[in-house]
């Protein structure tokens, strides 16, 4: 018997079902902790909870797509650029969720949140992009060379 999670590389629907489900379950712990610490109702925290769900909803299909692209034999540099852009976008979306939640929960001033988001994005996006680009290029190249060496030895 094969579980549907083992077929997640085959179908984006299965991948999204499992990855978003697991992510939202993992987010429920901090959500309950924030409810207790901030003394807010679940209704007050619903917007910030969903704001933190959006980045993974963006990154999960991108991960599936990049893995498929790699399996189809795309250039390692091209796939690494995709990983870099995806992680930079994920970092921006997380920053946006943090500052949105801060404003929504009245922990931050709106102007301060916007300025902080711009500064955070300007500083972190290149770090996320180039860090992930080099990491992905190393991993993808080693996988590709492993596949070539394995095929050569047979």
Distance between the two ends of the chain, CA-based, in angstroms? 31
* Span 42-99, pLDDT tens digits: 888 888 888 988 898 888 889 889 988 988 888 999 999 999 999 999 999 999 999 9
Domain ranges of the chain: 7-153
| Torsion angle in degrees (nearest 10) through CA of 37, 38, 40, 45 | -100
Query: Using CA atoms, how far apart are residues 89 and 52, in angstroms rounded to an integer?
Result: 14
| Torsion angle in degrees (nearest 10) through CA of 98, 124, 128, 50 | 10
């Amino acid at each position: 018997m094969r579980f549907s999670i083992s077929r997640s590389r085959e179908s984006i629907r299965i991948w999204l079902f499992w990855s978003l489900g697991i992510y939202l379950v993992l987010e429920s712990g901090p959500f309950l902790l924030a409810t207790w610490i901030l003394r807010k109702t679940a209704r007050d925290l619903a917007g910030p909870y969903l704001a933190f769900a959006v980045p993974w909803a963006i990154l999960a299909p991108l991960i599936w797509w990049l893995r498929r692209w790699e399996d189809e034999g795309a250039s390692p540099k091209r796939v690494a650029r995709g990983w870099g852009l995806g992680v930079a976008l994920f970092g921006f979306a997380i920053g946006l969720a943090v500052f949105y939640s801060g404003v929504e929960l009245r922990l931050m001033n709106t102007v301060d949140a916007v300025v902080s988001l711009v500064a955070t994005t300007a500083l972190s996006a290149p770090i996320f992009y180039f860090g992930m680009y080099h990491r992905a290029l190393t991993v993808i190249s080693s996988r590709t060379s492993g596949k070539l060496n394995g095929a050569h030895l047979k």
